[in-house]
Amino acid sequence: MAAGGPAHGPELTTAAVAGEALQPSGAAGSIASTGAGSPGSEGKPSAWAGFKKKSPLAALVIQRLALSVMLLFAVSLMIFGGVEALPGDFASTYLGQSATPQAVENIRKDLGLDRPAATRYFEWLGGALQGDFGRSWASKQSVSEQIGKRLGNSLFLAFFAAAISVPLAVGLGMLAVQYRNRLPDKIINVISLAAISLPEFFVGYLLILFFAVQLGVATFPATVYDSMTFGQRLSAIALPTATLVLVVLAHMMRMTRAAILNVMSSAYVETAELKGLSGLRIIARHAAPNAVAPVVNVIALNLAYLVVGVVVVEVVFVYPGMGQYMVDAVTVRDMPVVQACGLIFAAFYIFLNMVADIIAIVANPRLRHPR
């Protein structure tokens, strides 16, 4: 038997006087607990913690922004380190047969390669922050200037591919949900799957064969010049745009379909159905807003691909974009150009994913409207 056990039966213990017992244990309780539990954390509640509590949404967004900037710095370090570690040397490639040790040494000195890597990194980074990526070793021209034009071309192509593919993918995804497991759903699925399964250069050549060679309705090659009008440019990029749309469509469409289907089995969709709403209104108004987060992430990945991963399509269509520029630079070991392209690609990737994260955060009503 317990040593201190009571000899008599338990008395009725009413722990506290009625009024006090009903009080929320919040105020008094938390003070007591901070005192006893962890005295160290008492002094810490910083301005940041207060801000986080007051507006969790802004805090999360700021966190994401800061993370992105840090990530970009890490990437710049990796790009520079990677380029440094690459085998091969610009000077010996440039000089070819006539590469005497003395000539190589001269060129290295000319380009400043004899200085320590850390110094060159910070110089490069400092310049890049101001939009100056140095001069191309091969053409001796300003990298920023050359890239500016080509980046414009790449974005032009990516923009139209995105403007067509994103609404199309989301719309088709919703349609597939509306007719799920019926014929329209199956057709959409099969076609989009086929499109993603074919390699993009193959799709590109097929399109060229049909539309440019046999039917003659499209322009090839898709090279754009400064002198072209807007309309001419549009007609020039028609085929590469179509190729890109076909490549990225399936992924986004299937994700939209899966995310919305997931939401369709929830109780609030049943509520909407029992309100007598029509199928498409239920999908668009009640299901889609709750499927934003996963869909936006997939869209961001595909948009990033449209900017970053279009090398093959640019080469196939002879389109003067960033991808082709970078490939050319790699073959001649023109490092300032490779580094600049790498950093810009990384920045796009990080930026798009950050935007997707922020949209997903903002789309969450619990964060947007805290209790």
Partner 1 sequence: MASLLSVKNLKIEATSYPPGEPPRTVTLVEGVSFDVEKGKVLGLIGESGAGKSTIGLTSLAYGRGGVRITGGEVLLDGEDILKLSPAGIRKVRGCKVCYVAQSAAAAFNPAHRLGEQVIEASLKHGIMSRAEAEKRAVHLFGVLGLPNPETFGQRYPHQVSGGQLQRAMTAMALCPNPELIVFDEPTTALDVTTQIDVLAAIKHAIEETHTAALYITHDLAVVAQITDDILVLRHGKMVEYGPVKQIIEAPREDYTRALVNVRGTKREEAADQSGALLRVENVTAGYGMLRVLQDVSLHLPKGQTLAVVGESGSGKSTLARVITGLLPPQEGRITFDGKPLPKALKGRSNDELRRIQMIYQMADTAMNPRQTVRDIIGRPLTFYYGLRGEKKTARVKELLEQIEMGGRFADRYPAELSGGQKQRVAIARALAASPELILCDEPTSALDPLVAEGILNLLHKLQEETQVSYVFITHDIAIVRAIADSVAVMHRGRLVRFGPKSKVLSPPFDDYTDLLLKSVPEMEIGWLERVLETRRMESAGN
Please give the residues from 255 up to 274 whose contact with partner 1 meets the rule CB under 8 A. 266-268, 270-274
Burial grade of 153 (CB within 10 A; 0-12, 13-18, 19 or more): buried
CA distance 263 to 286: 9
Among 55, 141, 232, 278, binds partner 1 (CB under 8 A): 278
Q: Should residue 44 be labelled a site residue for partner 1 when binding is judged by CB under 8 A? A: no
Q: Should residue 34 be labelled a site residue for partner 1 when binding is judged by CB under 8 A? A: yes
Q: Should residue 5 be labelled a site residue for partner 1 when binding is judged by CB under 8 A? A: yes
Dihedral over Cα of 361, 302, 147, 237: its sign: negative
Q: Should residue 15 be labelled a site residue for partner 1 when binding is judged by CB under 8 A? A: yes
34 versus 139: smaller Cβ distance to partner 1: 34
33 versus 223: smaller Cβ distance to partner 1: 33
Q: Should residue 17 be labelled a site residue for partner 1 when binding is judged by CB under 8 A? A: yes
Residue with tokens 């789309």: 363
DSSP state of 213: I
Among 84, 186, 275, 328, binds partner 1 (CB under 8 A): 275
292 versus 311: smaller Cβ distance to partner 1: 292
Cβ atoms of residues 315 and 327 within 8 Å: yes
Structure tokens at 68: 């992105």
Shortest distance, CB of residue 299 to partner 1, whole angstroms? 18
Residue with tokens 């936006």: 296
- Coil/strand/helix, residue 344: helix
36 versus 215: smaller Cβ distance to partner 1: 36
Q: Should residue 55 be labelled a site residue for partner 1 when binding is judged by CB under 8 A? A: no
Amino acid letter for position 18: A
Nearest to 239 by CA among 310, 299, 170, 309: 310
Please give the residues from 289 up to 318 whose contact with partner 1 meets the rule CB under 8 A. 289-290
Nearest to 324 by CA among 91, 87, 154: 154
35 versus 199: smaller Cβ distance to partner 1: 35
- Asked if residue 24 has a cis previous peptide bond (ω within 30° of 0), the answer is no
Nearest to 298 by CA among 360, 343, 347: 360
12 versus 215: smaller Cβ distance to partner 1: 12
Q: Should residue 22 be labelled a site residue for partner 1 when binding is judged by CB under 8 A? A: yes
Shortest distance, CB of residue 173 to partner 1, whole angstroms? 18
Contacting residues toward partner 1, per CB under 8 A: 1-3, 5-19, 21-22, 24-25, 29-30, 33-34, 36-38, 41, 266-268, 270-278, 281, 285-286, 289-290, 363, 365-366, 369, 371
